[in-house]
Structure 1
Amino acid sequence: MKIEAADVIKGLPTQFFSTLVRKVGKVAEAGHDIINLGQGNPDQPTPAHIVEAAQKAVADPLHHKYPPFQGRIELKEAVAEWYKNEFQVTLDPGREVAIVFGGKTGLIEVSQCLLNPGDICLVPDPGYPDYWSGVAMAGGRMSFMPLLKENQFLPDFSKIPSKELGKAKLMFLNYPNNPTATTAPLSFFENTVRFAKENNIVICHDFAYGKIGFDGQKPASFLQAEGAKEVGVEVYTLSKTYNMAGWRVGFVIGNEEVVRLINLLQDHLFVSLFGAVQMASAHALTASQDCVRELVGIYEKRRNVFFDGLRQIGWHAEPSQGSFFGWLPVPEGFTSVSLADYLLEHAHLVVAPGVGFGDHGEGYVRVGLLTTEQRLEEAVARIDALKLFR
């Protein structure tokens, strides 16, 4: 019997980074010491007090049963309290907070809830590839918004073709940005709200790195802009803020109708997260936030060590403003892929080619500051030994 894949599966974008993983695997199998800066997986453990809260909740028979379909109110209330404390944003826990299985799931579900086949979604280029996956699953089309250095890696809405703009229903944004590691001022989000109202476009802001800002600067939430909840939602995850990537806890927050649609879709897919995980997540949001400040301090020290080292060897790159990534211009004579291959082969160093994040990512590679300062110093030393900048 021949099994034929559905058209929606056939239409999924190719996973660019699966090729990178295979290349790295071959070098690792040869026994080389690899420094992997190509990933986005937090390297620190979940704080002990969150783990302890989960252990206590696991022992509670209440959580051995199905949780409420749309999530526990304790967690939704904790999200609302956290947003009020951190960003002075007021949320209705019952109507403006949807619990999702990690931020990635929320981002994909937004497209599934809002796009019909043929509808246009405005997508940043470079940007997180899973935006593409959600649009493809919904049968939508993408119109790419270039993120250029000369515009501080912010999209220029005036450059969106009018033909595309007239058919656009959804826009993805992401600051602090993956992969460019830049932040956006509140004034940009205020302009975004005006643009969305004028053009009847729903905004989905991916705020995965929302607590990771450097040099004393606190990243702005899209929801801080006046009128933001009228035009869109923000997707937040505990993965980066609390080193809870494997716990798969995220939220879609803001516009009441979009939240309702997310909950409706999930009613047909899931029975919410394991209750003990939800209660531990609520504890993470309402307990002391010292662990978050300490984590940001770790990333800032790593950023300083790495970028200072690059400057000393002649690789001139703008230090990251936020997130735990770095966005490095490719030296003359290389493409993003050829540089990544060269560093892997000759320095046993993994970086992510910028073109994997979109056509306008060409000319850059992304690094993840997800290893120790000592290993970052060693990475710089290995690059220096190749004499690429002499």
Structure 2
Amino acid sequence: MESEFYRIKRLPPYVFAEVNAMKAKARAAGEDIIDLGMGNPDLVPPQHVMDKLVATLPDPKAHRYSASKGIPGLRKALSAYYKRRFDVEINPETETIVTLGSKEGLANLAQAITAPGDVILVPNPTYPIHHFGFIIAGATIRHLPPGTQDNFMESLEQAVRHSVPKPLALVLNYPSNPTAEVVDLEFYEKVVAFARKHGIWVLSDLAYSEIYFDDVPPPSILQVDGAKDIAVEFTSLSKTYSMAGWRIGFASGNEKLISALTRVKSYLDYGAFTPIQVAATAALNGPQDYIDEVRAIYKSRRDVLVKGLEAAGWPIPSPRATMFAWAPIPEEWKEVGCMEFAKQLLTHAQVAVSPGIGFGEYGEGYVRIAIVENEQRIRQATRNIKRFMSKSQEYLEESRQHLKDREENK
């Protein structure tokens, strides 16, 4: 009997597991670890949303099975959000479905539309579910290397030209996790025209639509004429309203894709807990000043991080969106790689970050830093890193020895 199952064999060991184990061990030993690794919001949802959740709990009907597709009021609230934010009409009956966060929605859509061997185009680096959701479904992944929106179309055209069979779908994620890259509406116009020409589905992850720092808000692909012919978009309340643990998201757009996802989900779940859906409706329909406040908090944290790391001798690009900084590791550390750099940062600076290799092979040479601690803690983190950088050569030699010992023990 084989020791591993087919789909499990296609999933490599979780890259973040080693750093997470080190983090847990250090905390168990009493160390004060500043965790800038996982994108886990530390802010509290709007008070009126929490009040709505509590108010709904005593209703006996609230504790029965909910609706897999999502309660009608929440789907209508999502439609209203698209209208006021993007001026896009979404039919709440046929063009949207409530998901258990955008991650679950994308993974289940992959199961719904993918046959073994289908080719899926996925950016690299990217959030792991963007490719592993399709790998679990049996697909073949063709990665699109990193680049700006100006040269993305060239990479896309080359990938389609050299893929057999023709790609089934293209995954997009802007603002991007982990790179924080943003694109404009013209970019989506080019993608939609290309996808319609070649008969390729487009799956857009717009989870960070409201966490941006430029004057111009990130657009939706559904703003493009004809986008609904080939595109579906995933959104989430996790970051916008600091409701990550509530697991509420949406898929919206093409009716055929929404129908396929709805059918698969009808076999798998009864939807999120009804009081959570009612509270999520209050989030979308209620006052929206909370979003401005959250955006201002993340922007201020970003500035503290960037300024502090520059003072520490590790200048990094200032992200234009998301709750992450995508930071090239110091030049001298590139010989040992981002995983070793992240481990040494945890050991000697008590700061946890995510190694870029966890987001794909082209993430090597980077770490993702999440601004999910308050400004005081971020300042402490940059002071710790400054001390680390002052002994960088000593720690680098330690890493060289670790890698040498590991190689000899193979």
* TM-score normalised per structure 2: 0.90
**Cross-structure match for 1:366:** 368
Q: Which residue of 1 is the match for residue 397 of structure 2?
A: none
Matched, 1:89 2:88: yes
Q: Compared with structure 1, are the counterparts of its residues 7 and 374 closer, same or farther at alpha carbon in structure 2 (3 Å cutoff)?
A: same
- Structure-2 residue corresponding to 1:36: 35
Distance 2:30 2:55 in 1: 42
SS in 2 for 1:168: coil
Q: Which residue matches 1:355?
A: 357
Deviates further, 269-278 or 80-89:
269-278
How far is 1:4 from its partner?
Answer: 6.4
Report which stretch shifted further, 163-172 or 88-97: 163-172
1:23 shift after superposition:
1.4
Q: In structure 1, how many angstroms separate the alpha carbons of the residues matched to 2:189 and 2:133? A: 26
Q: For each residue in 1:312-345, what CA deviation from the matched residue of structure 2 results, as whole angstroms up to 9, or x when unmatched?
A: 3332221111100001111122121121111111
Aligned to 1:210: 209
Equivalent residue runs for 1:268-307 within 5 Å? 268-307=267-306
- Tell me how many residue pairs correspond in the alignment: 389
Contact 1:124 1:155 in 2 (8 A): no
Which deviates more, 77-86 or 270-279? 270-279
User: Deviation digits for residues 179-237 of structure 1, max 9, x if unmatched?
Assistant: 01111111111111011112111111111111111032311111112211111100011
Contact 1:207 1:236 in 2 (8 A): yes
Structure 1 contact 177–323 (Cα < 8 Å) conserved: yes
Please give the residue correspondences for 1:60-79 in structure 2 after superposition, counting only pairs within 5 Å. 60-79=59-78
How far did 1:3 drift? 9.3
The separation in 2 between residues aligned to 1:370 and 1:22, in whole angstroms, is 20
Whether 1:327 and 2:326 are equivalent positions in the alignment is: yes
- The separation in 1 between residues aligned to 2:367 and 2:153, in whole angstroms, is 18
CA RMSD of aligned residues (A): 2.0
Shift of 1:155: 7.9
Letter in 2 for 1:106: G
Q: Deviations over 1:160-191 (max 9, x none)?
A: 25221752101111011000111111111111
Q: Does residue 113 of structure 1 match 2:115?
A: no
Note if contact 1:13-1:136 (Cα within 8 Å) is conserved in structure 2: no
TM-score, structure 1 length as denominator?
0.95
**Amino acid corresponding to residue 365 of structure 1 in structure 2:** V
> Aligned runs of 1:188-203 on 2, under 5 Å?
188-203=187-202
Aligned pairs (5 A) from 1:41-52: 41-52=40-51
In the other structure, the counterpart of 1:123 is 122
1:256-283 deviations in Å (ceiling 9; x for gaps): 0100011100111111222111111111
* AA in 2 matched with 1:385: R
- Partners in 2 of 1:331 and 1:150 — Cα distance? 26
State which drifts further: 150-159 or 92-101.
Answer: 150-159
CA deviation vs aligned residue, 1:73-113 (integer Å, no higher than 9, x gap):
11100000011111111100000001111111011012111
Any gaps of 5 or more consecutive residues in structure 2?
394-410
Q: Does 1:232 align with 2:231?
A: yes
Query: What is the DSSP-based 3-state SS (H/G/I as helix, E as strand, rest coil) of the residue aligned with 1:260?
Result: helix
* Counterpart-to-counterpart distance in 1, 2:215 and 2:71: 34
Instruction: Look up the SS of the partner of 1:203 in the other structure.
Output: strand
Of all paired residues, the percent bearing the same amino acid is 37
